[in-house]
Chain A
C-alpha cells in the first residue's frame, strides 16, 4: 500500500496511532476567584491508555479535561499532544483532532443519527462516500442497526443516544479522546453494560482517553491510570487502580477510595494471581488409605475425585471414603477458572454456598482449590509489591 492509500483510508479501517498527552504545570485561575481551579497540575498519559480524572465535585476534573482541547484556556503551563505544544494551535482545528463526548451528549436534535456522527468528518471536508462508509462502520461498531441512521436523536433511548455520542466522538478516528462522565446520565444497569461495551471497544481501538468521572468505582473499572484530584485542582495521587487501592497516598485519597477498597481490589485480579491450595485429587481405583491420607492432610478435609483427563467429578467426604479402593461417585462441584476475575470467583462461591471452588485451567483440568479463606488471606496480606500484574481494563471484562 502506498502512503497515499494510507492517508486516504485512515479513519475508515486502520486505526490512527494513539497520541501521548502531557500536562505540564498547568494552572487555571479564574478572575476574581481566590483559589485556583487547577493548581500546578502535571501528568502524563501514555499512548493508548485511559487516564481517569476523578474527585469530588469542584475539584476541577472537568476543567482539567477541557483544557486539553482548549475549551478552557490555562492561565499558565503547557499541554503537549505527541510531544507538541497545543497552545499555538487554532482551537477549532485542534478540536477536530480530539474526540469529544460529554455527559449531556449534546446530539443535534435537528440532524439524523448519520448526520450527527458525520459532524467532524464534514468539518474536515471528507468526501461524501468516505463519510457514508465511516458512518456505516461506526453504527456497526456501536451495535446499532443501519436503519437507525435515518432516525433523529429524539427517537432513540438514552442508552442508544449515549452510544451515538461515543460514535460521533470517534468519527474522525481521533488519536486522543476526551470523555466527561459519558455514562453519567444512564441508569446503573445500562451504565454497566455501556462501560463493558466501551472497554471492549477500547480493546480494539486503543485510543488515548481522558475520562472524567466522580464515581471511584467507575474510575477503577475504566482506568489504566487514575488521577485523584482534590478541591482546588490539586493532584492528590496519580496511579494505577491497584496502586490506588493498595497504597493510597494520603488520608484524602484513602477516604475517597472508600472503606471497601479491599473488596474493590478483587475486581482487579484474576484467580491465577493468588496462591491457591493444592487439590487433594484422587481417581477411581486409587487405594482408599492413600485417598484418606490425602484428604486429611488438606485443610479441606475432603478428597477431590477427578476423571481420567483430570477434570473434577465430585468431592469425597468422610462417609464416601470407605472400602478398599475409591469408587465412582456422582456429585456437584463449584468450578471457577484460572482466568476468572477474583470478584466473580468469590461471587460464584457465595452463590453456590460453598467454601471451596475447584479451579480449572483452559482444558478443564484441576489446577487448584480456591477458598473463601484464600481470598481473605489475599486481602489482608497482599502488599503493593504484587500489583503490576493487574490486567488492563479491557482485559478485565468477564
Chain B
C-alpha cells in the first residue's frame, strides 16, 4: 500500500529527474502544496481538540486539588505515568477501545497534555501572592470568589505558559497520530518517507503550525492581560 501511494505521487509530477531521485524539488512542492492543506487542517484539529480537552480535564483536576491539597500528589503521579507511556504503545492500547480514527488520536494526545497543564495551573495558583489572598479573604470574599476573582486571574500567565508548551508538544506528537488512523501531516510523511520534498514540506508545515499557534496564544495573552504589559514596561 505504501509503495502504491508513492507511485501515485510520482506519477503526478512533471520533473521526473528530481522526483525520481527522491530529491528536494521546489517545483514539485509548489505544484503539490495544495495536497497538504487537508492533512494540515486535520493536524490542526487534532492539536486544538487535544489541547482544549487536556486543558478542560487538567483545569477540573486542578480545582479539585486546590480544594483538597492531598490530591495533588496522586494526580501528578497518575498524569505523570500517562505522560511516560510511549505514544505508539498508547495508540495501540486504545485501538480496541476507541477504534481506528480521530477520537483515538485525540484521546491519546489529550493524555499527554494533562501533566504539563495541571502542573502549571497548580504552580500558578501557588504563586499568587499571600498578601493578595489574605486581603481578598479579609475584605469578605468567599473562597469561591477569591479563586475566580483573584487567584485564577493571577495564575493566568503560568497557565498560559503550560498551554503553550502543551500545544507545541502536541503538534509534534500529532505527527504520529496516523498510527491510530487519525490522519494529520504524519500521514503525508509516511506515505512517501524517502521522498525529501514530501518530508520537508510536511515537516515545515508542522513547525509552522506549532510556531503560529504559539504566537497566537502569546498574542492572545498579551491582549487579554493589560496589567502584565503595564507592569513589565
Residues of A within 8 A of B (CB): 69, 71, 91-97, 100, 102, 104-112, 119-120, 123, 151-155, 168-169, 178
Contacts and interface: CB of A to CB of B under 8 A. Distances in A.
Contacts of B142: 92
Interface stretch (B52-60, B89-97, B125-133, B206-214): B125-133
A35 B231 CA distance: 44
A123 B145 CA distance: 9
Contacts of A94: 140
Contact residues on B (Cβ < 8 Å of other chain), bracket: 20 to 34
A106 B227 contact: no
Nearest to A111: B227
Given A151-B230, A154-B230, A155-B230, A106 B140 contact: no
Contact of B134 (A91, A102, A111, A153): A102
B138 interface: yes
Nearest to B142: A92
Nearest to B231: A154
Interface string B87-126: 0000000000000000000000000000000000000000
Contacts of B226: 152
Contacts of B156: 110
A153 B140 CA distance: 21
A109 B231 contact: yes
Given A104-B131, A154-B231, A168 B139 contact: yes
Q: Interface of chain A, helix or strand or loop or mixed? A: mixed
Q: Interface of chain B, helix or strand or loop or mixed? A: helix
Contact of A96 (B129, B134, B139, B150): B139
B142 to A, nearest CB: 5
B165 interface: no
A121 to B, nearest CB: 10
B205 interface: no
Contact of B150 (A104, A108, A151, A169): A108
Given A109-B227, A109-B231, A155-B230, A119 B139 contact: yes
Contact of A100 (B133, B139, B153): B139
A107 B128 CA distance: 12
Q: Considering the complex of A and B, which 3 residue pairs feature the smallest CB-CB distances, nearest first? A: A106-B135, A154-B231, A104-B131
Contacts of A155: 230-231
Nearest to A69: B138
A308 B164 CA distance: 85
A366 B48 CA distance: 86
B29 interface: no
- Residue among A91, A94, A123, A169 with max Cβ neighbours from chain B (10 Å): A123
A105 B145 contact: no
A108 B141 CA distance: 13
B225 interface: yes
B149 to A, nearest CB: 8
A151 to B, nearest CB: 7
B131 A154 contact: no
B135 A95 contact: no
B140 A120 contact: yes
A92 B153 contact: no
B140 A96 contact: yes
A110 B154 contact: yes
- Residue among B137, B140, B154 with max Cβ neighbours from chain A (10 Å): B140
B147 interface: no
B136 interface: yes
A105 B135 contact: yes
27 contacts: A69-B138, A94-B140, A95-B137, A95-B138, A95-B139, A96-B139, A102-B138, A105-B131, A106-B132, A106-B133, A107-B132, A107-B135, A108-B150, A109-B129, A109-B227, A110-B153, A110-B227, A111-B227, A119-B136, A119-B139, A119-B141, A120-B140, A123-B139, A123-B145, A155-B231, A168-B135, A178-B138
B108 to A, nearest CB: 36
B139 A120 contact: yes
